[in-house]
Amino acid sequence: MKRGPMTEKTFTELLNWRYATKKMDADKAVPQDKLDAIIEAVRMAPTSSGTQPFELIVVSNSDLRAKIAEAAGGQTPITDGSHVLVFAAWDNYTEERIDEVLQLNVASRGDLPLIHDYYNNLKTNYVPRDAEVNYAHAARQAYIALGFAMLAAADQEVDSTPMEGFDPDAVDAILDLRKRGLRSVVLLPLGYREEGADWLLPMPKVRKSRDTIVTEIN
């Protein structure tokens, strides 16, 4: 895959450059190469036992984005940005889903007994659990990928706005996710900040101090 050009910013500079953009420029669209770089970061994100128990729905269709925005209280980055990434987690772990992961590992790493043992043990532990417990676990894996997506977007100098403030049942219905065994977890509109129109842009980033948020145990 051809990768979009990286910025020359340091990692810390990227963290300071990005923010939850409140006003996207509706006249600017994210180019395909930059979008591909962000998607690849999601694909490469780590997950528990390598299961990748979610799918990424990339929505550029303006009518669908308008419907999603309505389900999200009219938040304008969804409609003013050019794309919305919908992170949709598995609704449950099943033997079939874990077996697919097993076969993917066997195809890449060889038909090793330890691989079979590992994923058979996973099925023994995961499949009997309540579906809501399994969905919550899968959703947490999607959040790992969300973090990778936001940093990849910053690396590509693309703005993003993570959103939990939406009706997941409505979004599931709009995208017909339940029939695919998926449930929407979090949204990430992508686009470009509108200079001079975003009230948050000129404000300094506010974070707790290291001493407040970190406990070091030696």
State percent of the chain over pLDDT 70.
97
Candidates 196, 187, 216, 217; CA nearest to 73 is 187
- pTM of the shown model: 0.94
Summarised one tens digit per residue, pLDDT across range 22-52 is 999 999 999 999 999 999 999 999 999 999 9
Confidence class of residue 1 from pLDDT cuts 50, 70 and 90? Answer: very low
pLDDT of residue 7: 61
pLDDT of residue 8: 77
Specify whether the CB–CB gap between 122 and 70 falls below 8 A. Answer: no
Quick check: 178 pLDDT over 60?
yes
3-class state of residue 212 by DSSP? helix
Average pLDDT over residues 153-162: 98
Summarised one tens digit per residue, pLDDT across range 111-155 is 999 999 999 999 999 999 999 999 999 999 999 999 999 999 999
Answer positive or negative: Cα dihedral of 44, 92, 103, 36: negative
How many CB atoms sit inside 10 A of residue 162's CB? 17
Candidates 78, 69, 20; CA nearest to 198 is 20
Residue 45 CA to residue 42 CA, distance in Å, equals 5
SS3 of 147-207: HHHHHHHHHCCCEECCECCCCHHHHHHHHCCHHHCEEEEEEEEEECECCCCCCCCCCCCCC
Tokens 């050019």, residue located? 82
3-class state of residue 93 by DSSP? coil
Backbone φ and ψ of 188, nearest 5° = -140, 90
Confidence class of residue 2 from pLDDT cuts 50, 70 and 90? Answer: very low
Residue 86, both tokens = 């919908």
Quick check: 4 pLDDT over 70?
no
Summarised one tens digit per residue, pLDDT across range 68-117 is 999 999 999 999 999 999 999 999 999 999 999 999 999 999 999 999 99
Task: State the chain's mean pLDDT as an integer.
Answer: 96
Element (H, E) at 58: strand 54-59
Tokens 């899968």, residue located? 138
